[in-house]
Chains A and B, each alone.
Chain A
């Protein structure tokens, strides 16, 4: 394992069984599965912001949950700081989990409405038995100061609904950082936020990244926002990575037809740049019986015969060391 990698994912799969009624089970013997994540490999390097982007149903959120071990993989391995998470006991996993924190898209949903902001920030200190009482309060106050949640004393006593949007985002960050994690999984951290709050949170995430020496996994459907924060990015479609590379490589020279469509679809806040590129037809198909071969082939404008027969693997693009694509037609 390369020393610079904080996370290594190898052939990760998560299949969810489809719930069926009793009668249906009698009639059809075969069990069906949602192939939410279906063979994914990538590394997250220490100190980088790694983006995982795709539409709903692409498997990006499930991948994040697998890394946090909020759900168990069907197959494959996740190495965190060179340790295979699958091999850990529950107690060992508890300790590793302190080093990974998650922030969710809606700060309202992730802050307990009946808990004072300060108590919410320090809650995990108590849960993990690291500090309580005055000690906890002092550590919370120090963290509030570092994330700019000031004046500390009055804000400590406030409930989430009494905070402004920006203050709530800071509180969520403070709560994640109080455990001094190595990795923060940010799952659609700004989807709900308005434009001015969004810009603020991105700035806050970048500032705190330097100060706390963090690594981020940034999960998003918003490619325009990802541009401002990610160093590298992987594009997912129906449980598989279709393209991966540095932000520059993927955005300025997208190779996979799906990536090209996705980037072209993003509305640009400039009427002079109105989109003219046609969109692929149809929508992302069901992950229960994904199309054979390349999963994008039924919608792909350049698909050839091989695309419906063989699944392409994620391969480096000639002359581009770090830029990979899973497409038969990309050389």
Chain B
């Protein structure tokens, strides 16, 4: 396997609220390797976006990292000062969010965004040369070059997401964190975007952490998949074995409740109950109240995420 780009070690994030303390990410361990697409999936409130924001140190107050390390390129990001972190963000770690308008300056033309990004990364490049590179890049993104002087609001949602990918490319970022990048896109535009992302990923050996609730998008694009539930990482495996033979009962239930347009004879299965209130999480395994395999031990002791003989990881006492 290739070298690790990012190592998250025992990371915990708390949100103190009036009703009590919410542990949104609980002792998470996860490594992202160079050149892979790591899918991070789970339902709303499972902590997947919190994890993404924690890596960037952009948690919204009162969210706070209360323990652990985030090692990127040999440095613990949690030990950097704000200025060092600001340099790193955007320059070496790029972000793509659900709504690209939040990341694009509405008063700056698309070309200006790209030119500025190229010149920040390579100050030796002249304005003219940067503009030439920008045009090439925009063309490669499948946007007609006559649109390059448009303002972000003049572009469609799909084109804006393409621009975001383009900025990450211009920076030659070591890691791209994409949080629900296709969620606001229509299905054909989503498919076009995923095609582009896959092509660029292969061509430039990009490292992408793809955070989404859309299991189909993960199946299309990811090399490995991490499943989160109630702030915990419950399963981690390569994409084929994970979908073929999910180990954790939560992963099993999740996959069975996803609509699949291909299968002809099937029906959706319903997982009993709902995710726990994180102010008063259940003791032991947080999934045990909804789990049909729950044993005495599951109610008392929390299972750690452990590596199995097959090289897969799961947090479940069934695999003790």
Contacts and interface: CB of A to CB of B under 8 A. Distances in A.
Given A55-B188, A223-B187, 20 more contacts: A55-B186, A56-B186, A196-B270, A196-B271, A203-B268, A221-B187, A227-B259, A251-B261, A252-B264, A261-B188, A265-B187, A267-B217, A268-B216, A270-B262, A271-B219, A271-B243, A272-B240, A275-B191, A283-B158, A283-B186
B264 to A, nearest CB: 7
Interface string B268-280: 1111001000000
A56 B192 CA distance: 16
A107 B189 CA distance: 27
Contacts, number: 118
A296 to B, nearest CB: 11
Contacts of A200: 270
Interface in A186-226: 194-200, 202-203, 221-225
21 contacts: A55-B186, A55-B188, A165-B274, A195-B254, A196-B274, A197-B274, A198-B257, A199-B268, A203-B268, A223-B261, A224-B259, A224-B260, A265-B188, A266-B187, A266-B261, A267-B191, A267-B217, A268-B216, A269-B215, A272-B243, A279-B191
A269 B187 contact: no
Interface residues of B, number: 41
B188 A194 contact: no
A263 interface: yes
A107 to B, nearest CB: 13
B213 interface: yes
A195 B257 contact: yes
A199 B269 contact: yes
Given A55-B186, A194-B43, A195-B213, A225 B259 contact: yes
B239 interface: yes
- Interface range for A: 35 or more
B194 interface: yes
Interface of B: 43-44, 156, 158, 186-192, 194-195, 213-217, 219-220, 222, 239-240, 243-244, 253-255, 257-262, 264, 267-271, 274
B149 to A, nearest CB: 19
A271 to B, nearest CB: 5
Nearest to B220: A267
Nearest to A196: B271
